[in-house]
Structure 1
């Protein structure tokens, strides 16, 4: 299974559309972790599981989504309500409450992936306004029977970094 994950596109319809069209035939699911600044019913957002960020004013977006995709439970949130700029602990507790295997979040505009107590946390960074780097990024997560493979792509569609994490048995 492959999952496209992006966040913090801040109103850039063209970037969202380009990324979506670039990968629509290869991914099973598309996730937007908030601050799209686009209406939930817009054509750009219609294929995304998406949540509301602190810059989103469309109240049709939920604050948090918990989705079972194949055999993997995803917790999707923007992160501003879980203090992700300072610690992952509140988000880790939320993941435990929801029995999540993978947590997708944004807000900090800083790309990163790490395994914490057998839960994979992924921040795809920002496709528009990255912080602590000049690389505008999004993620394609590949879920296999034994591994999570996180590929970071730049806005041009090139892989810029990859990480592999072993699933907990």
Structure 2
């Protein structure tokens, strides 16, 4: 090829000749490297998908278990009410609010678990306080305000826990 007439193509041909001297061996090596790289990528994708599937299955299990336990807790409360009424037992079944607090405590994790524990304690203390209905109603409203602030993000779980402790304080002072 005349380099005077085709300067760019001549230069490209010279570069190609100097870089990849052989024909078939270079092609096979390149093809083999490409296939090995693709297999490694496929294996990595498969491993990541498998790990994600296991996590999804574990999350589904937790959600299903929590839902089943929630229904069980609701049924326990209903059964206790039925038995107390039918048998004339001095048993005071948990209120629906107390049962709901217990359910929230059951599904909470980490710092939220500590806050829901204190919330349940405050709700139970409100029910046991024996104070006038106006005071109890105000305490329940305060619990609702704390929950709202906590879940909207204006309170941390620790701040909510601290505020729950002040709603219906006990002389002994700590949650069970």
Which structure has more relative contact order (CA 8 Å, sep 6+)? It is 1
Q: Is the TM value for this pair above 0.5?
A: no
Bigger share in helix: 2
Bigger share in strand: 1
Larger radius of gyration: 2
TM-score category by the smaller chain? under 0.3
Q: So what's the TM-score if we normalise by structure 2?
A: 0.24
Q: So what's the TM-score if we normalise by structure 1?
A: 0.25
